[in-house]
Structure 1
């Protein structure tokens, strides 16, 4: 299936597995790449040394292109970019818009730059700065999300920029891929659907919670880090929403300390990252402190399997997913269904 996305990054199929923290590690990325889609490593929850090891592990398991997702506002973003360039990684993706200078540095090294955005104006900005493509996530998508549905946001962005647009938020099958192509997208990006595969390292108990969820069991809350965050409903989420600000801040400080030890970051580095985040998002310092909840709460579920102690970021599609195929089975199924749908439309 040939599209501007497949030609840009060199994959067989216009499907992207997003860089989900604690989820998109070497095993999932390798399986995705070998299935013909674009796998993306999540580096925000890795130290630079762990990122280097992960990149080399993927390279040892596949010759297919893959990417690394970066936090553009991280204090060590330059070091991570150096790893990407030195190791010959094909794609750099970003959860926040990278600077014009960072885009130029990557492009000069031959790296394809694909930021993720949630608004038309952000897509226009990164396109003007030289981004090669852009992922556009509608409100259906998991994790930090906006309010505009994909079906409204996607055509706005497609009409506004002249680079390939990758649609995210609400995609899980071949019908969705065809719909995205009909809107003018060059492919789709999926997180929750790849999380729910047999190649995902997410513990079985957590996968079972996702599979048991209905569409109404996926909610948006600001209780975790002060920003709209789409995730599965749980007693923990309810307790966070009931907690007072003082209690929430105390919990955030404790989790920030835990994340500092795991990531190897100093308090000074975390403070620099917090300042960068505050500037980019115009957040209060209370919200910055609450943001420390996210990495540790996600790790508790996605790594440790504690659905009672962790949060489970999720797109609304969790409510319609019922199985755990391998990445190859999933990608093959999507392409087969998309081909059949296109054939029926052609008739």
Structure 2
């Protein structure tokens, strides 16, 4: 491919040939098929553990058991698909009721990396234990959050992050910004925040005599965006939405088509039962929520701080309905650039396009 401006992504002793992490998307959007295909291309494929066992037999009665079983199954399957290439990891939300169990299950299953957000993963180092081969990364959106996490990990566990994922305001799904912050944050101001985070992690690189790669996420669409992130000092990028419109994505065909046919005007910020704003496609489901709550007839035990009597809808049911194909009456999370996705592709073709775009800039 000639001269290029990208380099392999080194996370401790683990190496991905390409500096591209596929973002974890749940429920059921990024499972073993997608993550394995990304890893096979030399990137980092990420499985979302959020209600990962939704299609396992017995899920209606035993969500926790089915989720643990599915974590093992999908990590193993993704590694088989990868054929020894790239890395296979998981995204585990701090907000999950069974966060601890998901972390331990992922480690036992041999996940290469754990990426953790939707809250501050203060306890993550203690959950994986010492001498663990699984690398860990917090998802942060500000210098302040980065400092809090790195200081706590250093003080309580005498260790630091193996890498850091900085997620910007254009990301899909749950966002680490208030609505006010979303309105006020510009591309230029967030570039400054990225560089501030890169600067603040240097103290811990020196203390622990190791490199802490920084990954930029949220709104990364093409090679130009990747080049910009690398120029800011990042070591790689995380991309999610673009991988939905691939043949290998684990979502239903209807879900993928919803992305392909979406316009910029269809994207809306909503409030999630997780307690954070989220970015999703406007549909009949969201229109209904603007008028009334969705009655909750069953609790799926997904969120630590969810009170079914008070939240406006069940996020598990809404996400499962969507991933199975009912994109009108389910919740379809998406990134800010979903309106730029116009056709189905493959993971191989997408990765090649992204890499050639880096070279062309």
1:90 to 112, 123, 144: 112
After the TM superposition, which residues 147-296 of structure 1 pair with which residues of structure 2 at under 5 Å, given as runs? 147=182, 148-149=185-186, 151=188, 152=190, 153-162=193-202, 163-222=212-271, 226-243=275-292, 247-248=293-294, 251=295, 253-254=296-297, 256-257=298-299, 259-260=300-301, 273-274=304-305, 289-290=310-311, 293-296=314-317
Q: Secondary structure of 1:110's partner? A: coil
Contact 1:106–1:112 (CA<8 Å) still a contact in 2? no
C-alpha separation between the residues in 1 aligned to 2:346 and 2:315? 28
TM-score, structure 2 normalization: 0.79
Quote how far apart the aligned CAs of 1:150 are: 5.6
Q: Secondary structure of 1:92's partner? A: strand
Q: Secondary structure of 2:139's partner? A: strand
Quote how far apart the aligned CAs of 1:94 are: 0.6
Matched, 1:139 2:161: no
C-alpha separation between the residues in 1 aligned to 2:196 and 2:312? 30
Aligned residues: 312
Q: Secondary structure of 1:188's partner? A: strand
After the TM superposition, which residues 16-35 of structure 1 pair with which residues of structure 2 at under 5 Å, given as runs? 16-21=21-26, 22-35=28-41
C-alpha separation between the residues in 1 aligned to 2:187 and 2:13? 23
Residue 76 to residue 209, structure 1, CA distance change in 2 (3 Å): closer
Q: Secondary structure of 2:290's partner? A: helix
Matched, 1:68 2:98: no
C-alpha separation between the residues in 1 aligned to 2:329 and 2:112? 36
For residue 282 of structure 1, what is the aligned residue in structure 2? none
C-alpha separation between the residues in 1 aligned to 2:330 and 2:217? 24
Residue 6 to residue 321, structure 1, CA distance change in 2 (3 Å): farther
Quote how far apart the aligned CAs of 1:36 are: 1.2
C-alpha separation between the residues in 2 aligned to 1:110 and 1:174? 31
After the TM superposition, which residues 259-338 of structure 1 pair with which residues of structure 2 at under 5 Å, given as runs? 259-260=300-301, 273-274=304-305, 289-290=310-311, 293-302=314-323, 304-338=324-358
Contact 1:103–1:113 (CA<8 Å) still a contact in 2? no
Contact 2:95–2:274 (CA<8 Å) still a contact in 1? no
Quote how far apart the aligned CAs of 1:18 are: 1.1
Q: Secondary structure of 1:66's partner? A: strand
Quote how far apart the aligned CAs of 1:322 are: 1.5
1:37 to 36, 43, 50: 43
Contact 1:150–1:170 (CA<8 Å) still a contact in 2? no
Q: Secondary structure of 1:339's partner? A: helix
Give unpaired runs (5+ residues) of structure 1: 264-269, 278-284, 342-347
For residue 108 of structure 1, what is the aligned residue in structure 2? 131
Which stretch shifts more, 145-154 or 327-336?
145-154
Q: Which has the higher helix share?
A: 1
Give unpaired runs (5+ residues) of structure 2: 1-5, 53-66, 154-159, 203-211
Residue 7 to residue 81, structure 1, CA distance change in 2 (3 Å): closer
1:11 to 9, 16, 36: 16
Which stretch shifts more, 215-224 or 227-236?
215-224
Quote how far apart the aligned CAs of 1:323 are: 1.9
Note the alpha carbon deviations across 1:134-171, whole angstroms, 9 max, x for none: 11111111111122356514233223323322111111
C-alpha separation between the residues in 1 aligned to 2:186 and 2:332? 21
